[in-house]
């Protein structure tokens, strides 16, 4: 899987509300022991990451998360920005993730930063 | 040392051309086995990082590198943007680093991305 596809599938997982479907999708793009850290969360393991996604979906029901810029990849790292907001409207939240890839290309460490938050 | 000071001192090291002085400064802010990866370099160890800095200084002699935005820190990570360009002029290169900190607060993994390069 190319890094572009991995990023696309990872972002797609953020929009999948069915836990089993989300787990299957995350298994393709994130290592078992993936660490995910952003200003509001710091979890290790794919199940914990899936739980974080579920919490964000509960907080912003039906609000899609989409690629905002990138991906910008080199060596075993990739950076991309994402936007969360109602379709066709100005994004409510924009963030940037810097990711370290495992040897198999799946996400090993996702470091997230917030570029725009509700004022 | 606060993370803000660590970032300041790290960026200062990029402007120190004396190898011994740079090594002493880097020892304060980067772990012995720090990994530094950007689109043009991927090195491990503080000496190798210092050599990369020396190479960039040789390529852009006398051109200072300064903080452009941030730092933006949470948990054990920090992000900041830097600019390189003649003082008082538009930056030639702008980049963003995402850093994982070691337990002692020194840089363990520096992941660099380029936001603006000479056209």
Q: Which two tokens stand for residue B2?
A: 């606060």
Distance (Å, rounded) from C-alpha A91 to C-alpha B117?
28
Neighbours of B36 (CB within 10 A): 23
Distance (Å, rounded) from C-alpha A26 to C-alpha A8?
11
pLDDT at B96: 98
Binning pLDDT at 50, 70 and 90, where does residue B53 land?
Answer: very high
pLDDT at A42: 98
Question: B39 touching A, CB under 8 A?
Answer: yes
Neighbours of A66 (CB within 10 A): 14
Beta bridge partners of B96: B81, B113
Which of A37, A75, A76 minimises the CB distance to B77? A37
pLDDT score of B119 more than 90: no
Beta bridge partners of B81: B69, B96
Which domains, ranges and CATH numbers included, belong to chain B?
3-116 (3.10.450.50)
Q: Which of B42, B48, B39, B59 is nearest to B19 (CA)?
A: B48
pLDDT at B67: 97
Surface-to-core class of residue A53, CB atoms within 10 Å of its CB (0-12 exposed, 13-18 middle, 19+ buried):
buried
Closest residue of chain B to A79, computed from CA coordinates: B113
Q: Are B45 and B63 in contact (CB under 8 A)?
A: no
Contacts of B42 in chain A (CB under 8 A): 75
pLDDT at A4: 98
Mean pLDDT of the B29-39 span: 98
Question: Does ipTM top 0.85?
Answer: yes
CA distance to partner chain B, nearest, from residue A35 (Å): 12
For residue B86, whether the previous peptide bond is cis, meaning omega lies within 30 degrees of 0, is: no
The residues near A4 (Cβ < 8 Å, ≥ 6 apart) are: A71, A73
Q: Do A113 and B39 touch (CB under 8 A)?
A: no
B60-117 pLDDT, tens digit each: 999 999 999 999 999 999 999 999 999 889 999 999 999 999 999 999 999 999 999 9
Which of A75, A96, A111 minimises the CB distance to B42? A75
Q: Which two tokens stand for residue A117?
A: 């938050």
pLDDT score of A83 more than 90: yes
DSSP state of B88: T
The four Cα atoms A84, A90, A92, A93 give a dihedral, to 10 degrees, of: 60
pLDDT score of A88 more than 90: no
The four Cα atoms A44, A50, A53, A54 give a dihedral, to 10 degrees, of: -130
A1-41 pLDDT, tens digit each: 999 999 999 999 999 999 999 999 999 999 999 999 999 99
Question: B43 touching A, CB under 8 A?
Answer: no
Question: B52 touching A, CB under 8 A?
Answer: no
Supply the pTM of this predicted model: 0.96
Binning pLDDT at 50, 70 and 90, where does residue A119 land?
Answer: confident
Contacts of A74 in chain B (CB under 8 A): 37-39, 113
């Amino acid at each position: 899987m190319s890094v572009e596809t991995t990023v696309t599938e990872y972002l797609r997982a953020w929009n999948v509300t069915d836990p089993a479907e989300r787990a299957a999708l995350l298994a393709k793009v994130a290592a078992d022991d993936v660490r995910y850290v952003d200003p509001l969360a710091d979890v290790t393991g794919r199940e914990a990451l899936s739980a974080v996604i579920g919490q964000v979906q509960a907080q912003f029901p039906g609000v899609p998360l989409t690629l905002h810029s990138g991906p910008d990849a080199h060596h075993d790292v990739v950076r991309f920005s994402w936007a969360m907001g109602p379709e066709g409207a100005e994004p409510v939240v924009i963030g940037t993730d810097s990711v370290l890839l495992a040897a198999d290309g799946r996400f090993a460490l996702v470091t997230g930063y917030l570029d725009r938050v509700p004022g």
